[in-house]
Structure 1
């Protein structure tokens, strides 16, 4: 069996693997990357982030057409099928794959397609239908990502029972849909299907939606989902999921039974480590298939790193890319290593949500004397022009020093707007202050102007 020698071998060509491979290659290392799919990009490009956000964008356009009076001159509100909307999202995937494939060839990174397994601490076997090869690595970066957790008592082979990966194969538009699990993925798909006119039951095993969010933002999401026809059921656990020719019946432990045309499971994810033969390198994954790392992304075996979803929190493509780059920085000893902890939340519901820093609940529990500055989108000229009047920006700041402690945004373009606040939060000393927003001229009309409005609102609360 041929053996190839590399400085760094990366397992997985998603965002974290790409970040690690690119940074190592730019620093003169000989790099190989192993990918078990036929194309690069990982779950982010093919199954998760990119298709769901492209899908959401198309649905938002449909909602705009169907609710804007101006378009009535063109015609009546239209109904769009899920497969038709998905087809437009698929075009983005092709563009992303082409772009990312070019990255690897341009940086002379060897790409191996196949399943990777450790033979020992420095040797990895890559098996494909064509052949098996052995890669010898001084350093290994495990960036294998995650997949939906699938409980064994639910029959996911049934043609009406889906998970967050297989939903992209849905070939019809159900009239009714049950979504089990109201985390980020469940909430995003609830928004998407409700936007297509599907009647959605969103089953939440917890007591509130996205409990890590600021309470006010979480409440706003609950209201707008319900306002768009989503029935949210809290504190419910499934007993069984049974599909027949005509639909699916969900039996809950509380005794309720719910019927719908289709069922979507969005509850939990598992790290992709089960086929790596970790025992051959002296590593063991936890019960969720995740690897434990230190603050330099090293596993218990010092030359084996792990990044991205396979290490758990925060399981975001944005953070994964930076974690991969950071691991490579540690390997090559450059000046750019950082432990990725300042991660903004971007949730692409309709309307979207984004936040960075602390919540009101956290600050209250810590007895921090904070104050609130608010700007409601309905009062912003830009939002009135675009017709996207739902939402708000909330700045949390220290009432004595005026230091920015948290930014919470709900509404159109929230994930873009939050970065302005994040930039100021990351400044040193007095530069991180509410005063920046008061003393800076913002373009008008813009959504960014919400910072000036919110800052003045907060200033008026300080006596």
Structure 2
């Protein structure tokens, strides 16, 4: 759409549907499912606000039931609608859409297999955005019924009674949180000491506490060696020989870039040892007129990053003004309950000596708006550069973290001083008020 708006003649080659995995099998479906789970969590937690569900045993969770068939029908309907909206938007600006499987014959020629016919497309420049697919374990092959990857979970008609999730990264943690909220008994198998390895340690600790309170079992420092199907469930064998039984198993152990068999070698596009496409700060590959964006590049696997990579690539190839991608300005969100959002420099970066900074962490338990809404966990964390007081990072844990992180991301991107944030009016009462207060506590008295 950006290229078309700049006057380029644009053709898209796509084999599944517009929007790719983010819309069809990943972000839109998973976050729609999570939204239902979050609604149920809010209902359960609202008992402390004086709402009585009168469950038969006094437990508000027993007064609700998740109809997974209906939920998944809505999930996939919204995904299809979003894909259709994208297609209409592209066609409205004159983009030609070719449904088929593309293969590069050289850096300027693409062969498209359209089933019964083949088409050759010549191009001045090519943007590769082929995404990735779920990684599979040789000893845990998905069957789409009991052993599942995250693209198959929406085919289930009934809520798993006892779900085992293998992998405690972002995808595993999100689905574990979601199905726990929907009413499944969930066991999360984590090979690390703490869930969400690589994320803010304080945030991961809050999430583990919430998991424990909600009855979600985490098996830390445990590695799944094998997943087998039984007559009515699954058995997961761990590295120490112990076994975990359940009705279903969801395997979330990373992804593989879709870079094989599409002619990248013929086009002169170099790959990393992991199979990702090598790109520079303006999304160029090793072939001068070929660019790449998204999960196939191995840069942060976020839809927002993919979109930014694409916009940067288009601006560069057309000759518009462009700023290289800066990963320290990327904000991200983990849609667990509570949500975890972050941007910029981390505390781990400070501890390693990569950056020097000051940190303030403010619990939301002291926030008036959080108290009114019955929010019992979460925090705001702001990191400022030592000496200058410039905001260089932040973390938000709590309901609506994906919205709250934007103000910190704005401060990071625009290099605002903590006083700029502190002296900006916020609404009282509001969760954003804690962002202003955290910045105020980082003020350096002269």
**TM-score normalised according to structure 1 size:** 0.89
Give the equivalent residue in structure 2 for 1:13.
Answer: none
Any idea what SS the aligned residue of 1:263 has?
A: strand
Q: Report the CA distance between 1:296 and its aligned residue.
A: 2.4
Q: Report the CA distance between 1:337 and its aligned residue.
A: 4.0
* Structure of higher RCO (CA pairs closer than 8 Å, 6+ residues apart): 1
After TM superposition, the structure 1 stretch with the greater mean CA deviation from structure 2, 83-92 or 130-139, is 83-92
1:97 aligns with 2:97: no
Note the 1:336-351 alignment, pairs <5 A: 336-341=322-327, 342-351=329-338
Contact preservation (8 Å) 1:374, 1:457: no
Give the whole-Å Cα distance in 2 for the aligned partners of 1:363 and 1:53: 32
Q: Deviations over 1:200-238 (max 9, x none)?
A: 111112332223222211211222222222221222222
Aligned partner (choices 426, 444, 450) of residue 434 of structure 2: 450
Give the whole-Å Cα distance in 1 for the aligned partners of 2:304 and 2:181: 26
Q: Report the CA distance between 1:153 and its aligned residue.
A: 3.1
1:61 aligns with 2:39: yes
Contact preservation (8 Å) 1:119, 1:280: yes
Q: Report the CA distance between 1:239 and its aligned residue.
A: 2.1
After TM superposition, the structure 1 stretch with the greater mean CA deviation from structure 2, 227-236 or 190-199, is 227-236
Q: Deviations over 1:187-212 (max 9, x none)?
A: 00010011012111111123322232
Q: Deviations over 1:329-373 (max 9, x none)?
A: 111010134324221121111110011122223213318553332
Aligned partner (choices 31, 37, 52) of residue 72 of structure 1: 52
Give the equivalent residue in structure 1 for 2:306.
Answer: 320
Give the whole-Å Cα distance in 1 for the aligned partners of 2:389 and 2:264: 50
Contact preservation (8 Å) 1:269, 1:288: no
Give the whole-Å Cα distance in 1 for the aligned partners of 2:28 and 2:275: 24
Q: Deviations over 1:271-294 (max 9, x none)?
A: 111130323223353443311112
Aligned partner (choices 111, 114, 118) of residue 104 of structure 2: 118
Q: Deviations over 1:48-67 (max 9, x none)?
A: 11111111111111122233
Change (3 A) 1:268 1:63: same
Give the equivalent residue in structure 2 for 1:439.
Answer: 423
Aligned partner (choices 236, 254, 257) of residue 271 of structure 1: 257
Any idea what SS the aligned residue of 2:430 has?
A: coil
Note the 1:219-298 alignment, pairs <5 A: 219-298=205-284
Q: Report the CA distance between 1:399 and its aligned residue.
A: 4.9
Aligned partner (choices 411, 417, 420) of residue 424 of structure 1: 411
Q: Deviations over 1:216-267 (max 9, x none)?
A: 1121122222222222122222221110221111111211111110011100
Aligned partner (choices 134, 139, 142) of residue 156 of structure 1: 142
Give the whole-Å Cα distance in 2 for the aligned partners of 1:454 and 1:421: 11
Contact preservation (8 Å) 1:393, 1:408: yes
Change (3 A) 1:384 1:356: same
Give the whole-Å Cα distance in 2 for the aligned partners of 1:87 and 1:381: 38
Q: Report the CA distance between 1:73 and its aligned residue.
A: 6.0
Give the equivalent residue in structure 2 for 1:332.
Answer: 318
Q: Report the CA distance between 1:152 and its aligned residue.
A: 2.9
Give the whole-Å Cα distance in 2 for the aligned partners of 1:399 and 1:326: 31
Give the equivalent residue in structure 2 for 1:43.
Answer: 21
Q: Deviations over 1:404-461 (max 9, x none)?
A: 2321110011111111112122234xxx2221233222111222111122234445x9
Give the whole-Å Cα distance in 1 for the aligned partners of 2:19 and 2:174: 21
Note the 1:130-149 alignment, pairs <5 A: 130-149=116-135
Q: Report the CA distance between 1:120 and its aligned residue.
A: 2.6
Give the whole-Å Cα distance in 1 for the aligned partners of 2:382 and 2:10: 44
Give the whole-Å Cα distance in 2 for the aligned partners of 1:158 and 1:33: 30
Structure 2 residue runs of 5 or longer lacking an equivalent are none
Q: Report the CA distance between 1:327 and its aligned residue.
A: 0.6
In the alignment of these two chains, the number of paired residues is: 437
Aligned partner (choices 352, 361, 364) of residue 377 of structure 1: 364
